[in-house]
Structure 1
Amino acid sequence: MRAFQVDQAWSMDNVKIATRTIPTPGSGQVRLKMSAAALNYRDLIIPMRGYGRRMQDLPLILLSDGVGIVDAIGAGASGVALGDRVCPIFYQTWLAGEPNNETMLSSLGCEQDGTMAEYMVVPAEGCAMFHRISRILRPQPCLPLQLPLGDL
């Protein structure tokens, strides 16, 4: 699969399209075939190791927001079905309650690989159903930036 990642050293010069093995979901996990990824301001400081030592070792797949289709489910995963359109949540281990040091060390595209890949694996509980989110949001006039990986 193709992925947009920081490779070899922390700098914008080392942001590259790379080839990786398509991941397989483990117990309690799902694989998403990503449809779109969104660029946020925070994503611009990531290649320069903008969050310091807490960041994952390189290589690191970039971006923290996106949407994908569940295309594989690991044993014991629940709450999602094949074909569901989901958004992986920003902090993968902060599901409820007050934040703590552990939950703040699970953000996509920083402490773990992000959304700018053709496929990604996340815990099933780390997904939000897209249709539930889209009902809450009201359409606003804007210019969307959609980066379909199929066109890279």
Structure 2
Amino acid sequence: MAENKTQPTDASVEDFLNKVESPKKREDAFRIKQIMEEVTGEKAVMWGPSIVGFGQYHYKYDSGREGDFLIVGFSPRKISLSVYLLGCMETSFDELFAKLGKHKTGASCLYINKLADVNETILRELIKKSYDYMKAKYPTK
């Protein structure tokens, strides 16, 4: 069985974020890190070379494939800030997304050009609801 390619590492989150080229995106990335730490109570951990994750859960599919993945996280990509909110994509938080501000969504991802484009209170609520949903769906032993 193939292992999940994205695994937690010992790499420094601060070193990674300090290498973000755009000063504004770097500032936004450090702010999202702070928000996620506050909302989840989890320490930031690098997952693979480019994702900052908070918490982890263990999944097992009907196919037998299983593994571990971050509960919430983000990555400061060149085009946008990718925010990983797995729980928000599995349940309907449409009314919160409607109040969030300028964003796009994809499979398990929320894409934000810059933090100034969104309502931080709503972003915090989405992170909290997603985190709580995943913790309830995949309780740790």
Shorter-normalised TM-score: what interval?
under 0.3
Higher helix share: 2
Q: With structure 2 as the length reference, what TM-score do the two structures score?
A: 0.27
Q: With structure 1 as the length reference, what TM-score do the two structures score?
A: 0.26
